[in-house]
Amino acid sequence: MEEQVDRVETQLRQALPIDWEVPGALSEAVQYSLMAGGKRLRPLLVLAAAEAVAADDADTSRGAMPIACAIEMIHTYSLIHDDLPAMDNDDFRRGKPTNHRVYGEAMAILAGDALLTHAFFSITQAAKHGGLPADRALAIVEDLSYYAGARGMVGGQAADILGEQGITDIGQLEYIHTHKTSDLIVFSLKAGGRVGGATSNQLEALERFGLLLGLAFQIQDDILDLTGDEQKIGKPLRSDEKLQKVTYPYLLGLDACKAKVVQLTDDAKAALLAGELANPDRLLQFADYLMRRDY
Ligand code: GRG
C-alpha cells in the first residue's frame, strides 16, 4: 500500500497544472491541499479494483492512474469546501491549517473549483495518453458526474446541512453517509473495474462492496472521532460543542457501532466475492485494513 501511495503522490504532483499560466495564489492553494497527505484511500481503491478485474495487466494500471488522481482531486475539493466558514468552519485538515485559513475564503473556493474541473480533464488524459478505450472513459465520466454530483456527494452534503438539527433516525443518517461517503468509494471501485473491462455482474459486486464498505468506513470514522469523548455518548447534545452532530455512536451506542462495522465489512466481502473477480485479494485485504484502522 505504501508503494502504491507513493506512486499516486508522484502522479498527483505531475497532474497539477503548475506549468500552466495560472495565477500563483490559485496554483499554490490547489497544491497545498492536494499534496497535504491523506490516506489516498480512494485512489488505492481505483487501482485495486482495476487489478481485481484485470490482474497484472500493465495497460490497465496505466489507464487506472489518471482516474485514481481524478478521484483524489474530487475528494480534496470536497474537503476544502466542507471546511469553509459557510459549511463546517474548520481550522485544521490533514494536520495543517485549512485552505481558507491560509489562502482566504475566495481562493479556497476557487481551489476547490479548479480541482473539481481538473478531475474531468484527468479522465480525458487516461483516454488520450493512458490507453483507456474511449467508451470506458465516457462511462467513467458519466459515473463521476453522478456520484460526485447532486444525486451523490453534493446531495449528501446538502442533506447533512439541512438535517443538522433534526436527525432522529438511522435512515436519515444512512442517506447522508451513503451519499457523502460511500458514493465516492463506490465510484472509485466501479471506475477501477471499468478500466479493467469489468462485466456488469462484476460492476454490481463492486458497487455493493463499495456501498457497504463506505458505511463501515463512516461508522468507524464516527467511532474514532469519539476517542476521548466516550462519556458524551447518549447524553443530550449541547449546542456549543462539535459533537452536537448526530452520529452513529450517538444513535446506537459504541458497542453496537463496533459490531456494525464488523458486520458491514463481512457483508461487503461476501458481496465482492459474488462478482467472481480474477484477483479480489487486495480488495478483501483493504476491507479488513479499514475495519482495523485507528486513524
Ligand atoms: C462540500 C460538496 C461538498 C462535500 C463535502 C467529504 C465531505 C463532503 C465532507 C467532509 C466531512 C466528512 C467527515 C465526510 C465523510 C467522508 C469522510 C470520512 C471524509 C474523510 O475522508 P478520509 O478519511 O480523508 O479518506 P483523508 O484526509 O485521509 O483523505
- Ordered by where they begin, the domains of the chain are 2-292 (1.10.600.10)
* Cβ of 53 less than 6 Å from ligand 1: no
What is the 212 CA–ligand 1 centroid distance (Å)? Answer: 17
CA dihedral over 4, 6, 11, 12, signed as positive or negative = positive
Cβ neighbors of 230 (< 8 A, separation 6 or more) are 254
User: Grid coordinates representing 270?
Assistant: 461476501
- Taking the C-alpha atoms of residue 150 and residue 30, their distance in angstroms, rounded to an integer, is 23
CA dihedral over 158, 163, 164, 167, signed as positive or negative = negative
> Which residue's C-alpha comes closest to atom 26 of ligand 1?
38
- Taking the C-alpha atoms of residue 109 and residue 129, their distance in angstroms, rounded to an integer, is 30
What is the 177 CA–ligand 1 centroid distance (Å)? Answer: 10
273 CA to centre of own chain: 22
117: closest CA among 153, 144, 84? 144
Give percent helix, percent strand, percent coil of the chain, each to the nearest 5: 75, 0, 25
Residue of 8, 40, 78 with the most ligand 1 atoms within 8 Å of its CB, for mutation: 78
For 124, the enclosing helix (H) or strand (E) is helix 105-129
Residue of 44, 180, 188, 293 with the most ligand 1 atoms within 8 Å of its CB, for mutation: 180
pTM of the model: 0.92
Residue 92, beta-bridge partner list: 97
Is the distance from CB of 249 to CB of 223 less than 8 angstroms? yes
* Cβ of 188 less than 6 Å from ligand 1: no
What is the 87 CA–ligand 1 centroid distance (Å)? Answer: 13
- For the chain, the straight-line distance linking the first and the last C-alpha, in angstroms and rounded, comes to 16
What is the 82 CA–ligand 1 centroid distance (Å)? Answer: 8
User: Grid coordinates representing 183?
Assistant: 458514493
Cβ neighbors of 41 (< 8 A, separation 6 or more) are 185, 217, 290
For 43, the enclosing helix (H) or strand (E) is helix 41-54
What is the 90 CA–ligand 1 centroid distance (Å)? Answer: 12
* Cβ of 202 less than 6 Å from ligand 1: no
Residue ranges with strand state E in the chain: 92-93, 96-97
Query: What's the farthest any 2 CA atoms get from each other in the chain?
Result: 55
Note down pLDDT in tens along the chain; length 295 residues. 889 999 999 999 988 766 668 899 999 999 999 999 899 999 999 999 999 998 666 666 678 999 999 999 999 999 999 999 999 999 999 999 999 999 999 999 999 999 999 999 999 989 998 889 999 999 999 999 999 999 999 999 999 999 876 777 888 889 999 999 999 999 999 999 999 999 999 999 999 999 999 999 999 999 988 864 544 444 544 444 444 577 888 888 889 999 999 999 999 999 999 999 999 999 999 999 998 887 7
CA distances in angstroms from 186 to 183, 248, 288, listed in the order given? 5, 21, 17
